[in-house]
Structure formats: C-alpha cells, structure tokens
C-alpha cells in the first residue's frame, strides 16, 4: 500500500511549511549545486577561474549545456553592467537569473475552463504517475473540486488497485476494468463524469518508453478517443517525470510531446536526487511554438508533498542563504 494513503500521515504536531519541506527535499541537489556554489562564492573577488568552476558545478547538477551557457552568458553581462565585484554579488545575480529562466514555466493549472476538465496523465513506468494522480486528486479536492479517476493503466493490476484504494478512502469514484482497452476505460470515465456533474477527470495511462513506438502510437489513440467523448479534450496532458533521470528528461519531453502534445509537467522525486538542476535544462529547451508549463513538483511521500511550482521558491531552496 502506498505510504501517502495512510490516515496516520496526519501528525499531531504541525508540519513544516512547504518552503521548509522544499528546502529539505532539495538537500541533495543543493549539496551538488548550492552547497558547492556557497564555497565558491565565498572566496572573494570575481575572476575567470571562479566562472570556470561555476560552469563545472552547474553541469554536475544536471543543469545541462544549453542552460549552463545561458546562465553564464547572462551572468557575465550582469558583471559588466552592474559592476559586480564579489562572489556574494555574483551569487545573488545567479539566483535572480535562474528565477528569470524558470519563471515562464510557472503557470498554475486552472481547471475552471471546462466541466468536466479532463486531464490525461502520461509517463514511463516508475516515474511516480499513479502516486501523483492520488496526490493531485487530493489537491483538487482541497480546492473544492469533485474528482473522478479513470484507471486507464490496464496493463498493471497494481496501478488499478492503488487508485481503487485511494478512491475508497477519499470518496472519489474510480472507473476501472480488470482487462480491456485503456481508451475504452477512459471513454467510459468521461461519460460518467459528464452524467454526474464531476469537475475534474484524472485519466491514468499505462507507462511506456519513448522507444516503444507501438505503445506511443497507442497513447495517441487514447487521446483521440477522449476527444470523441468530449470535444476539445483532453484539456491538459501532463507528463510525469522522475527527477532522478536527469538529462534523459529532455528526451522524454520531446518524445511524449510529439506523440500527444504535452501541455504540462509534473516532476517527482526531487528529494531523492542531486539532479534537480534538470528543471533549468527543461526550461531552456522548450518545444518551439508552445512552451510547456511545470505545473507541479514532488518532494516526498506525503499527500501534500506535491505542490504547484514556484520559480522563486525553487531557486531559493537551492541556495544556503537565499534572499527573502
């Protein structure tokens, strides 16, 4: 049973704030990123050696070549323009530039435009897809939305069981079949939501690798079937990414976007990796013509450890002594 399903998760004492949990969750990335930078920036005056070491640190944190080049170019411009002299000034400038890079992805999910608002969730096996659906459903319920789950992962019995357990404990309807076609399950779920006046449908799909072309074609079929049940749907296509995969996330974004047109991302397991800098890489290598929002990030197993992405909160959490 999933840890986040336990009722005992609600402690007697108040939990730390999201900002505190985020900083704790990003400890490994900060050790690779912010921790090394703190030592670097504490050395004194800015010089070429400092900038070279900064480049190495960014690459090791999985910021990626494109994003690292962008950050350093912007930083050199800031050094000249603002006459920066000390490592501390350079650090503050880097934090600000990082926020500017990430800010376009900070777009909260608005489910009020359609009823039902249909969200299709895709990703590879092990990315945290089913767990994220449970957390997202609870998040939407807390905002007063009624939710219906479509157990479209017809390949894994465990996925259906996880959704069913969550639905029973939180009074959420789950449409599932023990076998059959994923598209048919989701089609039935959309029609059920329309009949019952449900606000949001979260449609799970089977995990697949981008290299499994027949499965990528199948997921495109699922999207077409959803549109038959409700014109203009799905209204959101969320790709769930495991932060541990680092730069491989870029290939997943590209492949799933080509197959189904990704509109938003959920990045999970940031608390278990030193590769959180990949979010900067994703921000820098957005698909041409339609930027993809980072809707949510996950930093733990708790039911409320999946929260909307904030560029400022994320950047602050990467540094030991962030500016207010």
Assigned domain for 2 exists: no
> Is residue 219 a contact partner of residue 181, using CB atoms and an 8 Å limit?
no
Same domain? For 173 and 273 the reply is: yes
163-171: list long-range contacts, CB under 8 Å, 24+ apart. 163/130, 163/133, 163/134, 163/204, 165/1, 165/2, 165/5, 166/2, 166/5, 166/134, 166/137, 169/5, 169/7, 170/137, 170/138, 170/141
* pLDDT computed for residue 7 by the predictor: 45
Same domain? For 202 and 291 the reply is: yes
Same domain? For 96 and 222 the reply is: no
Assigned domain for 292 exists: yes
Assigned domain for 156 exists: yes
Tell me which range, 26-40, 75-89, 103-117, is most confidently predicted by mean pLDDT.
103-117
* pLDDT computed for residue 35 by the predictor: 62
> Is residue 22 a contact partner of residue 271, using CB atoms and an 8 Å limit?
no
Same domain? For 293 and 170 the reply is: yes
- What would the pLDDT profile of 232-274 be if each residue is shown by its tens digit? 999 999 999 999 998 999 999 999 999 999 999 999 999 888 8
Structure-block tokens of residue 128: 């945290």
Cα separation of 185 and 12, whole Å? 40
Same domain? For 38 and 176 the reply is: no
Same domain? For 143 and 263 the reply is: yes
Structure-block tokens of residue 114: 């359609």
What's the angle, vertex CA 279, arms to CA 278 and CA 281, rounded to 5? 60
Cα separation of 78 and 186, whole Å? 51
Distances 202 to 54, 130, 150, 174 between C-alpha atoms, Å: 42, 10, 6, 10
Helix (H, G, I), strand (E, B) or coil at 268: strand
Over pLDDT 90: what percentage of the chain?
Answer: 49
Same domain? For 47 and 143 the reply is: no
Same domain? For 238 and 139 the reply is: yes
- What is the band of 38 on the pLDDT scale with cuts at 50, 70, 90? low
Please state whether 175 falls in left (phi above 0), alpha (psi between -120 and 50) or beta: beta
Assigned domain for 314 exists: no
Same domain? For 269 and 305 the reply is: yes
Please compute the mean of the pLDDT values over residues 173-183 and round it to a whole number: 82
Considering only 18-32, 114-128, 224-238, which range has the smallest mean pLDDT?
18-32
Assigned domain for 5 exists: no
Assigned domain for 43 exists: yes
DSSP 130: H
Among all chains, which residue has been given the structure tokens 């495991």? 242
pTM: 0.89
Write out the DSSP string of 199-239: SEEEE------TT-HHHHHHHHHHHHHHHHHSTT--SEEEE
Of 84, 105, 126, which residue sits at a domain end?
105
Output 161 or 261, whichever has higher pLDDT: 261
Among all chains, which residue has been given the structure tokens 């999207």? 223
Domain holding 268: CATH number? 3.40.50.300
What mean pLDDT value characterizes the chain?
Answer: 86
Q: What are phi and psi for residue 269, nearest 5 degrees?
A: 60, 30
Domain holding 88: CATH number? 1.20.120.140
Of 71, 105, 139, which residue sits at a domain end?
105
Same domain? For 93 and 163 the reply is: no
- What would the pLDDT profile of 288-319 be if each residue is shown by its tens digit? 778 899 999 998 888 888 999 999 999 988 87
Same domain? For 100 and 122 the reply is: no
- What would the pLDDT profile of 3-27 be if each residue is shown by its tens digit? 444 444 545 567 788 888 888 888 8
Same domain? For 90 and 215 the reply is: no
Cα separation of 232 and 260, whole Å? 13
Residue 165, domain extent: 117-309
Number of domains the chain is built from:
2
Assigned domain for 28 exists: yes
Assigned domain for 320 exists: no
């Amino acid at each position: 049973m999933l840890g986040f399903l336990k009722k005992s998760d609600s402690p007697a004492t108040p939990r730390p704030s999201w900002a505190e949990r985020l900083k704790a969750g990003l400890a490994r990335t900060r050790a690779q990123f912010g921790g090394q930078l703190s030592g670097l920036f504490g050395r004194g005056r800015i010089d070429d050696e400092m900038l070279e070491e900064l480049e190495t640190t960014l690459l090791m944190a999985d910021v990626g070549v494109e994003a690292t080049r962008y950050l350093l170019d912007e930083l050199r411009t800031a050094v000249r323009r603002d006459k920066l002299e000390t490592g501390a000034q350079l650090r503050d400038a880097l934090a600000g530039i990082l926020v500017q890079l990430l800010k376009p992805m900070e777009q909260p999910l608005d489910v009020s435009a359609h009823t039902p608002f249909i969200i299709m969730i895709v990703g590879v096996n092990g990315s945290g897809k089913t767990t994220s659906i449970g957390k997202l459903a609870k998040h939407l319920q807390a905002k007063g939305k009624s939710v219906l789950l479509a157990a479209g992962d017809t390949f894994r019995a465990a996925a259906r069981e996880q959704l069913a357990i969550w639905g029973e404990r939180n009074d959420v309807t789950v449409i599932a079949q023990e076998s059959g076609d994923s598209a048919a399950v989701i089609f039935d779920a959309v029609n059920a939501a329309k009949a019952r006046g449900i606000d949001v449908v979260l449609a799970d799909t089977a995990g697949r690798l981008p290299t499994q072309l027949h499965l990528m074609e199948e997921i495109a079929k699922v999207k077409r079937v959803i549109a038959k049940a409700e014109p203009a749907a799905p209204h959101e296509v969320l790709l769930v990414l495991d932060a541990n995969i680092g730069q491989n996330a870029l290939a997943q974004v590209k492949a799933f976007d080509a197959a189904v047109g990704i509109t938003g991302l959920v990045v999970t397991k940031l608390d278990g990796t030193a590769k959180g800098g990949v979010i900067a890489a994703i921000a820098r290598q957005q698909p041409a013509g339609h930027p993809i929002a980072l809707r949510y990030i996950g930093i733990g197993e708790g039911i409320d450890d999946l929260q909307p992405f904030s560029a400022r909160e994320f950047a602050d959490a990467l540094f030991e002594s962030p500016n207010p």
